[in-house]
Amino acid sequence: FLTIYTRPLAIGGAVREFLARSLPRAVRFMRVHFFIALGALLLGALSGFLLVYADEGWYPVIIPAGLAGDRGPASTREDLLKILFTKEHGGISLLTFANLLFSNNTLVSLLAFGLGFLGGIPTLLLTFANGLMVGAILALHAHRGLGLEFSGWLLIHGVTELGAIVLFAAAGLKLGELILFPGRRSRADALSLDGTAIGEVAVGGVLMLLVAAVLEGVFRQTIANTDERLAIAFATLALWTVYFTFAGRGRRP
C-alpha cells in the first residue's frame, strides 16, 4: 500500500516537501479519524487504570507476561523505583536497544494500520488494548505512590510513540472507511484519490516511531530525573502539536 500510494521520497526537495507540507496537511485531512483513535486510546487507558487500581488481580490479565518484565502485583515500591531510575551507559548498547524498540513498535503500529482493511473495528480494538496496558501499568505504580515518577518515565518517549500509534490507527480507520463507504466512487477510485494522504500519514508515523525509539533507548536511559523527563515530554507534545496544526498552511508552490 505504501509503495503504491505514497509520493516518492527520493532526496532533497521531495523530502522537504513531505515534511514541511504534505505530512501535516495529510494529518489535518484525517483529523476526525485521529481524534476517534485518540479517544479509543484514552478510553483504554482509563479503563485499565480503574480496573487495576481497584483490584491488582487484573494486572496479569491485561499485561502479557512477556511485556510485564519485572513489574507485577508482587513488586514493592523499591523494586519499581530501581526500574524507573536505573541509568544505563554505553552508546552501542543504547543504540541497539533503541533499534529493537523501533522494530517492535513499528510492527505493532503497522498492524493497527493494516487492520483498517477489515473495516477499522480491529484497529480500534488494538488501539484500545494499547491504552488498556498503559493504564494498568500506571495504576500499579500509583498504588505505590509512584504515579508521577512513572509518568515521567513513560511520557519522555510515550508522547511521540503513542502519537505515532494514533496516527497509524487514524490512517487505518480512513482506509476502512474508504473500503466500506466509498460513496459514489468505486473503491479503486476512492483509494486512488485519498490513498496518498493515508500513505503519507503512515510514513509520518514511522518517522515518529524512529524519534520515539531514540528518546526511549537513549534519553530515558540516561536521564534519571522526573522533572527533566516531564520537561522533555511536554516539549515534544508542544512541538508535535504546533507542527501538525500549523505547518504547511501556506499556498502550495
User: pLDDT of 38-79, one tens digit each?
Assistant: 999 999 999 999 999 999 999 988 987 766 667 888 888 888
Determine contact, residues 209/164, Cβ cutoff 8 Å: yes
Which residue in this structure is represented by grid cell 493497527?
A: 112
Count the alpha carbons within 13 Å of 37 in the hemisphere toward its beta carbon.
Answer: 30
Average pLDDT over residues 84-109: 63
Cβ atoms 171, 5 nearer than 8 A: no
Q: Please, what is the average pLDDT of the chain?
A: 84
- Over residues 111-136, mean pLDDT: 89
Q: Which of 62-76, 87-101, 139-153 is predicted most confidently?
A: 139-153
How big is the CA angle at 238 (ends 151 and 33), to the nearest 5 degrees?
90
Which pTM value belongs to this model? 0.85
Report the largest interatomic distance among the alpha carbons of the chain, rounded to a whole angstrom.
61
Q: Which of 28-32, 104-108, 165-169, 213-217 has the lowest mean pLDDT?
A: 104-108
Looking at the predicted structure, is the pLDDT value of residue 15 above 80?
A: no
pLDDT higher than 60, residue 21:
yes
- Other beta carbons within 10 Å of 117: 14
State residue 12 phi and psi, 5-degree precision.
Answer: 45, -110
User: Average pLDDT of 225-248?
Assistant: 93
Q: What is the pLDDT of residue 3?
A: 62
- The letter for the amino acid at 17 is E
Set of cell numbers at residue 35: 481524534
Using the predicted structure, report yes or no on whether residue 192 has a pLDDT greater than 80. Answer: no
Tell me what pLDDT residue 238 has.
96
Q: What is the DSSP letter of 6?
A: S
Per-residue DSSP letter, 185:
S
Q: Which of 54-63, 100-109, 116-125, 166-175 has the lowest mean pLDDT?
A: 100-109
User: Grid coordinates in use for 22?
Assistant: 504534505
Residue linked to cell 511536554: 234
